[in-house]
Amino acid sequence: MSAAADARRTVRSMLRRIVALSGVERLLISLAALVLAILVGAVLILASGRITTCSQAAAVYFGLGFCYDPLEVYFVLFNGAFGNPLNPAIMSGPLVNPAWSPFTGALTFTGPLVTKALFTSQWNPLNFSVALTMKETTLLVFTGLSVAVAFRAGLFNIGTQGQLVVGGLVTALVVGTLVPVVPGGLAGSVLLVPVGVLAGAAAGAFYAAIPGALKAYADANEVITTIMLNFIAAQLAFVAVSQFFRNPDSQVVETAPLPGYATLAPVVFPRGGDFAVLTLVFALALVAAIWFLIERTSYGYDLRTSGIQPEAAEYGGVDAKRTVVSSMMLSGALGGVGGAVWVLMVMGKWQTGVPALGFDGITVSILAGNNPLGVFPAALLFGTLKSGSLAVQFETGVPKQLVGVLRGLIILFVAMPEFFRAIGTNVVDLEEPDSKAVATDGGEPASGGEER
């Protein structure tokens, strides 16, 4: 057997093992990757803190002074995202023996960690920081679901951002148009909010149907078309608002603000947090509905089969072209819902400079392994890192660039196992023996027998 064939066989065998992992094994690997990312990040923090000049060391480890303390950074990163449920006083002194080294004996905890209360007695879960974290999480659930649906259908929908922009704009225009003819108060909320969400979903679905049809009937690469449509959506929305729907009382390119009863206003959380619990409930219900649709219905079977084995799906009677278009429309509708929620819950209007929620949704989907049930935990991790990063910058003095590196490391390490699993799903066949996999690549059968 040649060296090249042997290498191919080894790679395929590794990918086969990754693809065949159970849900519990994948969860354990993700947790191990998270721990490894935290350890690597701690080394980077220490290295950066060692070469940085400061008037007083933030921490002493191995008898050396460091300007940045990794324990403090991670404490603030996760604690700050939820409004300090853990007592910040436990970080007022060294947590471990400063003179400890691997050659001096066992590591011992000292100082505030053993003398102060662990939890904050007055902590209220309905605080501003939790609202910010859950706002990011909820928005990312919609965009993560959007990307996951397309990926399960074998389509790379990179255009969720454009579908979100279009969905948000149409929501703002439709609700703004209906406000004068709909009664105010609770009755107006019951009518306008669902209509706005449906309008955003319809707009996102329509916009996603364009690359879907191009893929199905012209074999156009959906990665290229969706990326191009992202730019088109942003520019069309900017021109439409600036020329036709602009708020005359604002210097910013934006639509007129919607009245409070026409938006998803916070009820139990602080108003400045821009988070309504109702949207989280809706997002979780949508997660369950999409999972059921994909895993427990005939349409979901057609969608999954088309994504894994399109030739076999067509041979089995699945209309592959219709499935491509419909799955892209479903993906776009979810992206449009994300845009609608951004307008109704966060902004109360459409405004230029839409955040990159669609692109972040790609990361969320990969973190979730393209499984709808994994989207919420992945979005929560992403939202926690994003919200907690702000606290790190303000409270520890760590440069925002280093904080960004830490976020990226955690996301990269956790996502890589699922990334390789996605590659393996498209490369290897679990029903195909290793010997056949090598032989089709030009090598000799592993058994040493003759090819038939």
| pLDDT tens, position by position, 333-348 | 999 999 999 999 999 9
Residues 363-422: tens digit of each pLDDT = 899 888 889 999 999 999 999 988 888 888 888 888 888 888 888 888 888 888 877 776
**Is residue 232 a part of any domain in this protein?**
yes
Total-model pTM = 0.85
Query: In this structure, is residue 360 part of a structural domain?
Result: yes
* 344 belongs to a structural domain: yes
Long-range contacts from 425-434, C-beta under 8 angstroms, 24+ separation: 425/19, 425/308, 427/12, 427/15, 428/12, 428/15, 428/16, 428/19, 430/16, 430/19, 430/20, 434/9, 434/12, 434/13, 434/16
Flag whether 440 is in a domain: no
Q: How confident is the model at residue 270 (pLDDT cuts 50, 70, 90)?
A: confident
Answer whether residue 451 is part of any domain: no
Alpha-carbon torsion (204, 207, 211, 216), positive or negative: positive
Number of domains comprising the chain: 1
CATH number of the CATH domain containing 331 = 1.10.3470
Total residue length of the chain: 452
Q: Tens of pLDDT along 149-180? A: 999 998 999 999 999 999 999 999 999 999 99
pLDDT, one tens digit per residue, over 278-320 is 999 999 999 999 999 999 999 998 888 876 677 777 777 788 8
Question: For residue 218, is it within any domain?
Answer: yes
Residue 209 sits in which domain range?
A: 131-396
